[in-house]
Structure 1
Amino acid sequence: MTRRSTDFTSTALQAAIEAARLIMEVYARPISTELKADGSPVTEADGAAEAVILQHLAPLGLPVLGEESVAAGMIPDLGERYFVVDPLDGTKEFIKRNGEFTVNIALVESGFPVMGVVLAPATGEAFVGDLNGAYTCRIEDGVASEKRSITVAPGGPIRIVASRSHGHAALAQLCDTMQVQEDVSVGSSLKFCLLARGDAQLYPRFTPTCEWDTAAGQAVLEAAGGSVVTLDGERLHYGKGGSDFLNPFFVAAADEALAQRAAALIRQLLT
């Protein structure tokens, strides 16, 4: 990540703040929902938020992989350095009005996320990570304040960001084998942020995700000292291409050792 790349963080945060404002305007009134070709829901907030994010990022001159743009068939030539945007991660949570939805903006370089902003519009809490570390801040009236550094909390009892009762069949076995003490349930990319803040240690993912679902959260978690690996033990990477940009199953954890241990165990449980 070059010195200029670190300057991108403030632009991405401002873009997320403006997108969050538009999202909350829609949230305050009856929400009209449509279905995409893949059956997932979409609202007017998704498109409006992505449009304003694209406007903020345009002066930086980098390609943008945006969820709604991809859904519309607009996939740019990404190259080695580009932004990844999910304007409204957790649309189902948005429709349910449970507050657990986020704006995700990440910068990817050479296949890996090096900067990420995750902002929860309903609470005004933002999580930011880059090569300078990770921090949280509060967004009030469009201004970031109460900046506080965060870091992972490895060691001790393991808390998992998943539900034993609603997850994959292997999840209960994983929890038993790794002596998981507590389940922590939360929607969207906030799962990564709970690990980054030290509120949980393990987030296994056995169901499909796309690159825009994970890039910003991975950047925040890794900046806080955590790790995200696929089930073969490799760091989760980006720029896989195709039309869906699907991720393989992965494990996010408070440190590399825990991630590798969990990935190895999941491989055994799924065979």
Structure 2
Amino acid sequence: MTADFTALMNQAAIAAADAIMEVYLRGAIASEKADGSPVTEADQKAETIILAILAETGLPVLAEESVAAGRIPELGGRYFVVDPLDGTKEFLKRNGEFTVNIAYCEDGHPVRGVVLAPATGQIYWGGPEGAFAGEVRDGEITGVGSLQVSHAPRPRIVASRSHGHAALAELCAALEVAEDVSVGSSLKFCLLASGEAQLYPRFTPTSEWDTAAGQAVLQAAGGVVLDLDGVPLTCGHPEQKFLNTWFVAASSRDLALAALAHMVRFAET
């Protein structure tokens, strides 16, 4: 049954992207949520569309704007995790680096994910069958190709050395990082999945809906996303307000553990 979810998730992401771009092209005004983060009409329209399409599965959906409004479902063992507009700040800056994120989880583990960048039409998805990318044109996915992580003696890092956490410069030096590449939203995971970078350490807070879809895509491409304990990042933690710890995404477990060895020291200080 779960094999059918990918097509439905892609359909939901494409429909949400159309609504987002309608708002994007005419301009959006942001309001502020209780946590101080911005929200726009596009976030809310996209989430409504996604929830309506996923409703046919009968599964619960953990969705960012619903959670912000206090609507938190009983998740059980199988559910979706949705960020209707990841990168609202990028959306407001009009730099195109925002995404629609939809993940399907089993027992807290993201096993399928879709990440769609509405402004460019780039779409990435992954699951047990592998990871793939294509372009959305007129509501259809074209130019589909498979994704696979890459490995390099000197990894490329998805982070900014000049604007990152204090630990980032040391991490770059210790791992002999070749260069950094910067991009907004969950496209960071997609850069790793497509082999354009190998390492993404995260030193600042994220929510589960920020990471679940990208994590599923990266894992399907052969990569890993590990928390500070060195185990795969999981979802469905209301006791943590659905917030992630620091984590590292990487093209291999060995590279992730090497990065974590440095990150853990800073987390303990």
Q: Smaller-chain TM-score range?
A: over 0.9
Q: Which runs of 5+ in 1 are unaligned?
A: none
Offset of residue 267 of structure 1 = 1.2
Question: What's the RMSD between the two structures over aligned residues?
Answer: 0.9
Question: What whole-Å deviation, never above 9, does each CA across 1:172-202 have from its counterpart, x for those lacking one?
Answer: 0000110001000000000000000000000
Superposition deviation, residue 170 in structure 1: 0.4
Residue in 2 that maps onto 1:116: 113
* Structure 2 counterpart SS, 1:28: helix
Measure how far apart 1:265 and its partner are: 1.8
1:226–1:254 Cα contact (<8 Å) kept = yes
Q: Is the 8 A contact 2:154 2:175 kept in 1?
A: no
Provide TM-score, normalisation by structure 1: 0.97
Separation in 1 of the partners of 2:94 and 2:163?
20
Report the count of equivalent residues.
Answer: 268
Question: Structure 1 residue aligned with 2:214, among 212, 217, 222?
Answer: 217
Is the counterpart of residue 203 in structure 1 residue 200 in structure 2? yes
In 2, the alpha carbon distance for the partners of 1:30 and 1:192 equals 28
Give the distance between the partners of 2:47 and 2:27, measured in 1 at CA. Answer: 20
User: Which residue identity lines up with residue 45 of structure 2 in the other structure?
Assistant: A
1:126 aligns with 2:123: yes
Aligned partner of 2:159 in structure 1 is 162
Matched, 1:85 2:82: yes
Would the aligned equivalents of 2:83 and 2:102 in 1 still touch at CA under 8 Å? Answer: yes
Mapping of 1:35-46 within 5 angstroms?
35-46=32-43
Q: Is the counterpart of residue 172 in structure 1 residue 172 in structure 2?
A: no
Gaps of 5+ in 2: none
Distance 1:13 1:232 in 2: 32
Distance 1:110 1:34 in 2: 34
* Structure-1 residue corresponding to 2:134: 137
Aligned to 1:268: 265
Shift of 1:157: 2.2
Match of 1:60 among 57, 62, 81: 57
Residue 243 of structure 1, CA deviation: 7.0
- SS in structure 1 at match of 2:90: helix
Match of 1:94 among 86, 91, 94: 91
Runs of 4+ in structure 1 over 3 Å off: none
TM-score for both structures, normalised by structure 2: 0.98
> Which letter maps to 2:227?
T
